[in-house]
Structure 1
Amino acid sequence: MRYSKIISTIFCILISIAAFSQIKPNINTKPYPYGNPVIKHMYTADASPHVMPDGRVWMVTSVDHEDGGGYSTMHKYHTFSSKDMVNWTDHGEVLNIYDVIGSNVEPEGEDWALWAPDMVYYEGKYYLYFPVRILYKEGGYDEKTRKTIAYTGVAVSDAPDKKFTVINPKIKGTQGIDPAVFIDDDGEKYLYYGTHYGAKLKDNMMELDGEPIKMEVDDERFMEAIWMDKKDNKYYLSYHSHYDKPIDPENPDDLHRKKSRLDYGVSDHPLGPFEYKGILNYELGVNVNEGPKLPGKNYVPWRLYQSNHGGIVEYHGNDYLFYHTSALSSWRQDEFKGPGTWTQRSVCVDQISYDESGIIRPVQQTLTGVEPVIVDQPFEINLALKDTEVTNSTLKFENINLGTGYYYAAIEMKGIKEPLKCEIRLDKPNGALVGTFVIKKDGLTETLLRNAKGTHSIYLKFSDELPTKSSIKSVKIFAGSPK
């Protein structure tokens, strides 16, 4: 029995070493036979999904190298978009490590990499937040002895499918990896990164507004991959937990081993404190009973290789988790006869369900993926100003059908002398807040909307009396269906 245990442990260690050192060629050219992962022609990881003003879901992803080589070979980002959550368009490379370095070579003795990014739309521009991770080669690659630094930079573009330009290569005050950006219903903007740090962002989107804080998350296993979501006026902070490795192939569900999960906590404030609520996503491959099995085992081949990272988006009535597995590399390398490669991952999408109290049921990972989303409603709704009731700097628009969801709003004004805010509320002047215009000057001002669906009266509630001689030229709700 003891001899068997030793052999099993040695095999387990060898598998772990192979994940980083062995380069397996992608020799299988047969089409990948399942719906998950959703990107099948290249290796993608760390997806960050958002609905953009064109009404489509966009994600920016890390890219794992086609030839393997580990996390240090992650040098670029791609963007992808979908109108139905199933079929995705690759818009190509939008940022490369050499755009960040400003040279076509890495500094001597250093390995630079671009890890998990996030991308958001704000005031007509797209902002891409990227973690720069630098490994100093004199420290070696061993996890215990290596020397690294990491911080967040930001790049900007006029469109999510165009090249991004670095506008701040290192945001002062940031440290660690995996930035996530969040715009709240009141117009405030937040940046999260590293080991549960959070801070407000300035309006220029390239600097922190005050000192970052280390948030209370009520869980000692927080490791990386921070993500912020909001539902029913609660803030959901999810993250990847610390875990034990390697996984014993004879006992992958060992109760005594810390698991590589996505966990989450909930708060009434975007900077916490957060109360731990449980598991969002089990280890990769857990409870996936459909599809292939690793030869001689009763679990899917990618069950042994763990690298959890989540992104959440709501799209026309359903909530979705984006994560990644090594299922595609297992297929492309040897048609599911082996586990694939740890650092050749691919984005998957599955649905999130909540119970009546707002607790997330752990996501059921699938190979089939999600059902296609079909949207049958206008792209935009122009609110009729001539029929508007105006009372105490509040405008009311009655019986507006927001269908399965609209994600942005725009107001055009003239005669603005000082900045003012305008809340967008449903059903009554102090009803549910779904977005806030921050109006700084004449012209068009946009804001994102959250939970703007169904038929409601819409109230525009200005923070101050409207200036004399000011006027509202137009108001529209848009991004209600994909362009």
Structure 2
Amino acid sequence: MNKIAAIILLLICSLQLYGQKNMNQEPYPYGNPVITHMYTADAAPKVMPDGRLWMVTSVDHKDGGGYSTMHALHAFSTDDMVNWVDHGEILGINDFDVPEGEDWAIWAPDIIYRNGTYYLYFPMRNKLKDGKIDRYVAVAESDRMDKRFTITNPRMKGVERAGLDPSVFIDDDGVAYLYWNQALMGELTEDMREIKGEMFKLDYGANNFMEAAWMHKRNGKYYYNYHTRYNGKVAPSNPNDSERKKSHLDYSMGDSPKGPLKHMGVINYELGYNTIGGPKMPNQEYVPWRLTQSNHGAVVEYHGQEYFFYHTSALSSWRHDKFKERGVWTQRSVCVDSLNYRADGSVIPVQQTVKGVDKVIINQAFGVTLNRKDAITENADIKRRYFLAQNEDIIKFENVDLGSGYYYFEVEFEATEINSKIEVRKGSPNGLLMGTLLLNSRVLTANNGISQTFLREANGLNDIYLIIKSEGDTKVKFWKPRFFAGSPKKLKI
């Protein structure tokens, strides 16, 4: 009987760890998490060219089973930060030819748009027949966010070392970087499919990195957040035990995406720490999911407010027993709360809530075209249908109203033999660099003669400066300069 009892106890413990049937089907009563019809984790949010905020997530299985059962990536979008649309699975384990006897899983992804293509980066965790674990990063691409992606690089070179949690970042000068596990990073090639040169370790000013790297930029400063190493389970009687290393998200900041960075402290405390509102664990003063550990964060700015994406087991706790227990930490759900800063640029740690964020209302045009008749320049030629300029020429547009924010800029252009660029600045010729257009044959072919760039801090009433960067006397011919993605497009039903 003792053996039988031990087996039963083991099965009960396994269910608590890896998942239980979702017996409670009543509507989830709070605003966080934001997706409540399925389990989602590891959100990667980005503003896309349609002006909507999209996120790609990994998926935890509804019946549990742990991280090895993560077999899909889903896409969601919102136009107001409150109401989310599920666009379905964009990549899954069936897109791979998994050998018989092996167990493959897809973990935390990231996504980015560049010149007509959406690039999806995701880590594979493959258990081989001999029991060994193979980890690496793959790339998939699509011309739309709401349709299935095609794998274009099944295994990135240069990311062999513990390829986990890839995070992609394009700086305002047009250079793209990939960050991943062990605080490793590298510059991406222009086709966004490989690492250019050798990877290297980012100096982030500390020695507590575990996983979940994410880079964002604000006011010229670079912010790198990550999940810290932790030890020990959260004790119900003392969840804030000072002797236990916490499952925090820390951050470092500095003046270069390649480091060195200064470690600044916590950006997001453990899940459920000091959460405002919500249910309490029976006989305790904290929310039930305070006792779970899994932290993964991402940052995005949308019309004047920065948002922090993370995940908790709140939905799992509700589905299993209406908040009587902690839920399961491998059944996670994406939450969103505001991210704010002090005057010196340091981060105020995220205040986790069950309410979530307020609805965003956007009242402005989708695009703002810069009219040739309004252009001011000393050296560039303004023709009837186009601009003709060369290296260091400056074209100015006065009093351009960018409202609460425009997230992309584009021009149509004619091919040149020399690679050229157009810097998009505001305030002065040496003012804030919001983004950089690449003018070369690859972009011309890939995006039908249009060069586009993501923009940061393109808001308010400003003088706009287009600064031409080319070699020698090379002439750059372009037309139809336009800001766009200033308001979200409605979805076609």
Shift of 1:417: 3.4
Aligned equivalent of 1:79, options 57, 65, 75:
75
The separation in 1 between residues aligned to 2:13 and 2:409, in whole angstroms, is: 49
Would you say 1:446 and 2:452 are equivalent positions? yes
The separation in 2 between residues aligned to 1:198 and 1:446, in whole angstroms, is: 25
Q: Structure 1 residues 132 and 465, CA, compared in 2 at 3 Å: closer, same or farther? A: closer
The corresponding residue for 2:202 is 215
Would you say 1:417 and 2:417 are equivalent positions? yes
Describe the superposition over 1:182-219 as per-residue Cα deviations: whole angstroms up to 9, x where unpaired: 00000000011111111000011101111000111222
Scaled by the length of structure 1, what TM-score is found? 0.92
Name the SS of the counterpart of 1:209 in structure 2.
Answer: strand
Asked if the contact 1:19/1:342 (under 8 Å) is kept, the reply is no
Shift of 1:229: 0.3
Asked if the contact 1:289/1:299 (under 8 Å) is kept, the reply is no
Q: Superposition RMSD on alpha carbons, in Å?
A: 1.8
Aligned equivalent of 2:478, options 472, 479, 482:
472
The corresponding residue for 1:397 is 397
Would you say 1:170 and 2:155 are equivalent positions? yes
The separation in 1 between residues aligned to 2:142 and 2:415, in whole angstroms, is: 29
Asked if the contact 2:276/2:354 (under 8 Å) is kept, the reply is no
5 Å-filtered alignment, 1:337-356, equals 337-356=324-343
The separation in 2 between residues aligned to 1:159 and 1:324, in whole angstroms, is: 26
Aligned equivalent of 2:114, options 114, 122, 126:
122
Asked if the contact 2:337/2:357 (under 8 Å) is kept, the reply is yes
The corresponding residue for 1:20 is 17
The separation in 2 between residues aligned to 1:149 and 1:276, in whole angstroms, is: 31
The corresponding residue for 1:370 is 357
Asked if the contact 2:20/2:63 (under 8 Å) is kept, the reply is yes
5 Å-filtered alignment, 1:181-260, equals 181-260=168-247
Asked if the contact 1:416/1:467 (under 8 Å) is kept, the reply is no
5 Å-filtered alignment, 1:420-439, equals 420-439=420-439
Shift of 1:178: 0.2
The corresponding residue for 1:266 is 253
Shift of 1:250: 1.2
The separation in 2 between residues aligned to 1:14 and 1:368, in whole angstroms, is: 35
Q: What is the letter of the counterpart of residue 402 of structure 2?
A: L
Aligned equivalent of 1:288, options 275, 278, 298:
275
Worse-superposed segment, 167-176 or 183-192? 167-176
The separation in 2 between residues aligned to 1:166 and 1:415, in whole angstroms, is: 29
Asked if the contact 2:419/2:470 (under 8 Å) is kept, the reply is no
Q: What is the letter of the counterpart of residue 360 of structure 1?
A: V
Q: What is the letter of the counterpart of residue 133 of structure 1?
A: R
Would you say 1:33 and 2:29 are equivalent positions? yes
Name the SS of the counterpart of 2:290 in structure 1.
Answer: helix
Q: Structure 1 residues 247 and 137, CA, compared in 2 at 3 Å: closer, same or farther? A: farther
Q: What is the letter of the counterpart of residue 348 of structure 1?
A: C
The separation in 2 between residues aligned to 1:152 and 1:79, in whole angstroms, is: 19
Name the SS of the counterpart of 1:391 in structure 2.
Answer: coil
Asked if the contact 1:109/1:138 (under 8 Å) is kept, the reply is no
Q: What is the letter of the counterpart of residue 82 of structure 2?
A: V
Asked if the contact 1:414/1:473 (under 8 Å) is kept, the reply is no
Scaled by the length of structure 2, what TM-score is found? 0.90
Structure 2: which 5+ residue stretches go unaligned?
A: 1-9, 380-392
The separation in 1 between residues aligned to 2:474 and 2:42, in whole angstroms, is: 49
Would you say 1:134 and 2:121 are equivalent positions? no
The corresponding residue for 2:142 is 157
Q: What is the letter of the counterpart of residue 463 of structure 2?
A: S
Asked if the contact 2:413/2:450 (under 8 Å) is kept, the reply is yes
The corresponding residue for 2:388 is none
Aligned equivalent of 1:324, options 308, 311, 314:
311
The separation in 2 between residues aligned to 1:430 and 1:205, in whole angstroms, is: 29
The separation in 2 between residues aligned to 1:109 and 1:256, in whole angstroms, is: 43
Q: Structure 1 residues 452 and 245, CA, compared in 2 at 3 Å: closer, same or farther? A: same
Describe the superposition over 1:388-415 as per-residue Cα deviations: whole angstroms up to 9, x where unpaired: 1123421111100011111000011235
Name the SS of the counterpart of 1:451 in structure 2.
Answer: coil
Aligned equivalent of 2:63, options 67, 71, 76:
67
The separation in 2 between residues aligned to 1:84 and 1:471, in whole angstroms, is: 38
Asked if the contact 1:326/1:344 (under 8 Å) is kept, the reply is yes
Structure 1: which 5+ residue stretches go unaligned?
A: 1-12, 140-146
The corresponding residue for 1:91 is 87
The corresponding residue for 1:459 is 465
The corresponding residue for 1:3 is none
Asked if the contact 2:268/2:349 (under 8 Å) is kept, the reply is yes
The separation in 1 between residues aligned to 2:208 and 2:347, in whole angstroms, is: 19
Name the SS of the counterpart of 2:196 in structure 1.
Answer: coil
Asked if the contact 1:95/1:164 (under 8 Å) is kept, the reply is yes
The separation in 2 between residues aligned to 1:429 and 1:328, in whole angstroms, is: 50
The separation in 1 between residues aligned to 2:471 and 2:231, in whole angstroms, is: 59
Worse-superposed segment, 424-433 or 39-48? 424-433
Q: Structure 1 residues 472 and 137, CA, compared in 2 at 3 Å: closer, same or farther? A: closer
Q: What is the letter of the counterpart of residue 162 of structure 1?
A: K
